[in-house]
Structure 1
Amino acid sequence: MIVRIMGEGQVEIGDGHFPELNKLDDELLAELEGGDEAGFRRTLGALLDAVRRLGEPLPDDALEPSELILPAPDATLDEVRQMLGDDGLIPG
């Protein structure tokens, strides 16, 4: 799956990594719902770090459509709430 982090670039992530990413996404959703700003910051950073670590960066000139778009590291609680789907940021 091609994933874009807003303000950064794209990475390709294998399907086998999504259980780890979904766990972080579930934590982030709980922190959003509870208004836990500190937890939200920590978990958003961990989620984006995991995407960077697990993904294979695409070249800057690649024109692949992103199947998943994640917020920038400095996104606010409200900005991330607007990006949420029924399953959180990451489907599944």
Structure 2
Amino acid sequence: MIVRIMGEGQVRLDDSHLTELNKLDDELLAEMESGDEPGFRHTLNTLLDAVRRLGVPLPDDALEPSGLILPSPDATLEGVRELLSDEGLIPG
């Protein structure tokens, strides 16, 4: 799966990592629903760090269709709330 982090670029991520990322996504969703800004900020950064750590960066000039688009690290709680589907940032 190709994952885009807004403002950073794309990484290729093996589907086997989706379970780990979905756990973080569930935490992020709960923090957003409760308005927990510090928790949201921490979990968003943890999620993005996991994608960076587990994924393989694509060259800057590569433009692959992204199966998943994640917000930038400086995204606001309200901004991310607008991106969410009923399943969070990561479907499944």
| Same fold flag (TM > 0.5) | yes
1:91 corresponding residue in structure 2:
91
- Which AA in structure 1 matches 2:2? I
Residue-pair matches, total: 92
CA shift for structure 1 position 63? 1.6
1:75 and 1:63 map into 2 onto residues whose CA distance is 23
Task: Give the Å deviation of 1:2.
Answer: 0.4
Distance 1:54 1:91 in 2: 18
Aligned residue in 2 for 1:30:
30
* TM-score (normalised: structure 1): 0.98
Question: Structure 1: which 5+ runs fail to align?
Answer: none
User: TM-score, length-normalised on structure 2?
Assistant: 0.98
Deviation at 1:86, TM superposition (A): 1.4
Residue in 2 aligned with 1:73?
Answer: 73
Overall identity of the aligned pairs, in %:
77
CA distance in 1, matches of 2:72, 2:43: 13
Shift of 1:26: 0.2
**Residue equivalent to 1:11:** 11
Distance 2:32 2:63 in 1: 32
Letter of the 2:75 counterpart:
A
**RMSD in angstroms over aligned alpha carbons?**
0.5
